[in-house]
Chain A
């Protein structure tokens, strides 16, 4: 009996230590970034362009670049993702083809982001001649998050009760009318939540846009889709590894890290808020 109790204690302690380790590392990370970066955070840092070889000034073009790129990724990935999910859930059935497509999507979600970057570089930048641009970067990020958007949309569509579809079809509505009026509206919160979480991930991706969209230094807001840009994630990479005086700009690098972290965490927060609001309003 005592051996059993001892075992119980040992295992629980192990689990507790594991959980504590996660919390310790997370707090450590946030502490390091905050203590080093918070000093440079001010209005000028957020709204000014980088100056004097990026040793002074702000990161405004990088913030705008990241926002443009993620927005572009949504614009391309959301309609295609939702349309594919509708096809897979409502039309494709459960046959061999549908299973193969689903497997392909799962695998696509596992492709490393540098490979997406190389693919985007080959296809959009070179072959289609879009160059290093917002458009190339947005399309590449869209490809990266597409599997996530499809999975989230699938789950959201599947969670709408069959009874809504049957009730609508039994009234003489066509399949599309039933989906349009009695399935899609109730799947929207789930689709949005999943898309925002996917975009939050895209906002922090570096490899795909370093190859397709961003420059080391471009202190202007892009004025066309075919312009290159700066972006937070790549700016941090350049500042930490490629700058001529890395140590001098380290505080600015930490500042950029904090801004990116803040952006990603706010996106996640918005997703969580939508989800909780939706859960409260849901009656079926």
Chain B
């Protein structure tokens, strides 16, 4: 296992508020890393700094470095568009486009230059299969994505992200808007996906982190308090703050 993504003294601030403070950690490839912590601790801001989506927020300032395969994505001249193709993202609330199921998945490949239907068809099928949605939608690919249930919409968004063949998949509380059954499906899916992808998931659900992740990072008030193999973090945390959080004394 090698390091895929590395944060080096990473800080993000919005105006005068510092959301992420001097975080350094490296994420291994082909594992699931969970980022846990109470609401407002900077979890989402941290993963959105990995694909530079914080750039969209007016007044956001990032210092330090994020190395993708050893290259700083914040370096001058780094191709942000290419970065976002390599580092895919699934959002908290399912956000399919108001297009057909097929067009949602095909959107990414299309903007990256794959236009022919003969080439797109297999990409759409594979992506939907990887997202465990194919069996439910294969007979109605032209239906609107908005006709799907919330859980299906989220899996569609995962398929959409996979269709551009990213190397890393960032998931920002992907199950927070879903029921327990849909959540279980997505969790199973994450475990399947780590064979080919590096998965980073933000969750406020500690059980979820314990169930699916290999590594866990605990973030508190923007600082990285603890980071290590999930079992170790959950069973023998080194910081008192981590233990207090995991045992439900605050959060």
- List residues of A whose CB falls within 8 A of some B CB: 93-94, 161, 163-174, 177, 181-182, 186, 283-284
Contact = CB atoms under 8 A, between A and B. Distances in A.
B146 A170 contact: no
B144 interface: yes
B98 to A, nearest CB: 6
Interface stretch (B6-14, B33-41, B107-115, B233-241): B107-115
B92 to A, nearest CB: 10
A181 B112 CA distance: 13
Given A94-B58, A171-B161, A283-B144, A166 B95 contact: yes
Interface in B18-51: 51
Nearest to A163: B95
B225 to A, nearest CB: 28
A109 to B, nearest CB: 26
A284 B98 contact: yes
B111 A163 contact: no
Interface stretch (B67-75, B83-91, B181-189): B83-91
Contacts of A177: 111
A162 to B, nearest CB: 9
B157 interface: yes
A188 to B, nearest CB: 12
Nearest to A95: B58
Contacts of A164: 95, 97-98
A177 B109 CA distance: 13
A174 B80 CA distance: 9
Contact of A173 (B53, B98, B111): B111
A164 B99 CA distance: 11
A186 B98 CA distance: 9
A168 B98 contact: no
B91 A168 contact: no
7 contacts: A166-B56, A166-B95, A167-B97, A167-B157, A168-B107, A170-B84, A173-B111
A186 to B, nearest CB: 7
Contacts of A170: 51, 53, 84, 88-89, 91, 161
A171 B99 CA distance: 16
B53 A169 contact: yes
A169 to B, nearest CB: 6
A182 B164 CA distance: 17
Contact of B108 (A94, A161, A171): A171
A173 B56 contact: no
> Which 6 pairs across A and B sit closest by C-beta, in order of nearness?
A172-B85, A163-B95, A170-B89, A171-B108, A283-B146, A172-B84
Q: Which of B51, B53, B84, B112 has the most chain A CB atoms inside 10 A of its CB?
A: B84
Interface residues of B, number: 28
Contacts of A186: 98
Nearest to B55: A169
Contact of A172 (B58, B98, B111, B146): B111
B84 A182 contact: no
Q: Which of A166, A167, A182 has the most chain B CB atoms inside 10 A of its CB?
A: A167
Nearest to A186: B98
B81 interface: yes
A172 B82 contact: yes
Interface in B169-227: none
A169 B81 CA distance: 8
Q: Which of B51, B81, B82, B144 has the most chain A CB atoms inside 10 A of its CB?
A: B81
B93 interface: yes
A171 B146 contact: no
Contacts of B58: 93-94
A172 B84 CA distance: 5
Contacts of B83: 172
A167 B83 CA distance: 14
Contacts of A163: 91, 93, 95
A170 B84 CA distance: 5
B155 interface: no
B112 to A, nearest CB: 7
B27 to A, nearest CB: 18
A163 B172 CA distance: 13
A236 B84 CA distance: 61
B161 A284 contact: no
Contacts of A173: 81, 107-108, 111
A165 B96 CA distance: 11
Contacts of A167: 91, 95-97, 157, 160
Contacts of A171: 84-85, 88, 107-108, 111, 160-161, 164
A173 B81 CA distance: 6
Given A171-B160, A171-B164, 12 more contacts: A93-B58, A161-B95, A166-B56, A167-B96, A169-B53, A170-B51, A170-B88, A171-B85, A171-B111, A172-B83, A181-B111, A283-B98
B86 to A, nearest CB: 8
